[in-house]
Amino acid sequence: MRKLRLNKVVSRIGDLPAIPEVVTEVMDLTSDPNVSVSELSKLIERDPVLTAKLLKISNSAYYGMRQVVGTLKLALVILGVREVRNIVVGIAVLDTFRDEETEMLLGQHGLWRHSLLVAGMAKKLGAYLELSLQGEDFIAGLLHDIGKLVLWKQLGAEYRELYERAKRENIPLHQLEEDVLGFNHADAAAALAEAWNLPETLSFALGAHHRNNDRLQEEGPAPKLAALVRIANVAARDDFENHEAAELSSCTDERSWKALAADEQPLDIEARKEVLWGIKEEMSEIPSLSF
């Protein structure tokens, strides 16, 4: 079923942009468990802009580092190879789809701010729950809506009209996408990740970030990551101040909270609200990160 849906995405939107060379090189190099910090550092430093963006994210309040990371080698030592790899992949994916047209979606329609909030909340909640996801929490949150950029860029005016219609008629965008296109932006994100041979855990989390998707979290390769992004995505829009925990989608997603619980005893619903509200308040006070 999943493969059929991904094939449908590709057949509908046409050829996807080529994977950036730096992503291929970084993925190949980091597939070696014995890769040295020096080797990876030399590879990434060939792109000064990418290096600067990596350090900017690492030092941002969204990422939550406890000390300033001034050099790429220090980032690799503190964060580790896998976490730096994940940040590089996230930056490269975003950069591939950023242009004058998609900047309207990112800026005017608030997608960039929302993506940052989801990324920060996913990382903070992952740290609170001691999930040790090595940066996949932040990057999966940052890229969870990349499918919107894919469709905005590939389908042009058709998708922009669909996007505006969802807002006008107050219809959840992913539901309208299903009705009109036969798939949604989460499927488009997963198709991109699969086409680029990105980590399967990332591909799965991107494709499963809406609760009504037909993918079962517990059957996938990254149930905790998928659950974390689902909760962060909904929590980013939930009104914690004016609603009880039982009224909040992020607090009542029992399936996702159970997936996050190490002992299958998830936080009680009031504790969920307290944790999520606190994290969201902290994230909402941070100036937007730009690069």
pLDDT at 219: 62
> Rounded distance, CA 111 to CA 283, Å?
15
> In the block, which residue shows the tokens 């950069």?
95
**Spatial CA neighbour of 126 closest among 287, 244, 29, 262:** 262
Number of domains in the chain: 1
pLDDT band at residue 99 under the 50/70/90 scheme: confident
pLDDT at 287: 85
Neighbouring C-beta atoms of residue 224, cutoff 10 Å: 22
pLDDT band at residue 213 under the 50/70/90 scheme: low
pLDDT at 48: 92
Tell me if 98 is assigned to some domain.
yes
Question: Six-digit token pair at 223?
Answer: 């149930």
Q: What's the whole-number mean pLDDT along residues 164-169? A: 94
Residue 21: its H or E element: helix 21-30
pLDDT at 216: 46
> Rounded distance, CA 276 to CA 109, Å?
24
Question: Six-digit token pair at 154?
Answer: 């590939």
pLDDT band at residue 24 under the 50/70/90 scheme: very high
Tell me if 118 is assigned to some domain.
yes
217 has a pLDDT exceeding 60: no
pLDDT at 214: 46
Tell me if 95 is assigned to some domain.
yes
Backbone dihedral region of 71: left (phi > 0), alpha (psi from -120 to 50 degrees) or beta? beta
Which residues, 6+ apart, have CB-to-CB distance to 86 below 8 Å? 134, 135, 136, 138, 139, 202
Q: Express each pLDDT in 253-277 by its tens digit.
A: 998 999 898 776 889 999 999 999 9
248 has a pLDDT exceeding 90: yes
pTM of the model: 0.91
Give the range of the structural domain holding residue 15, as residue numbers without chain letter.
Answer: 2-284
Tell me if 88 is assigned to some domain.
yes
What CATH number is associated with residue 242?
1.10.3210.10
pLDDT band at residue 218 under the 50/70/90 scheme: low
Tell me if 289 is assigned to some domain.
no
Tell me if 119 is assigned to some domain.
yes
Packing angle of the helix pair 223-235, 269-284 (nearest 10 deg): 70
Q: Express each pLDDT in 58-77 by its tens digit.
A: 898 888 777 888 899 999 98
pLDDT band at residue 134 under the 50/70/90 scheme: confident
Tell me if 291 is assigned to some domain.
no
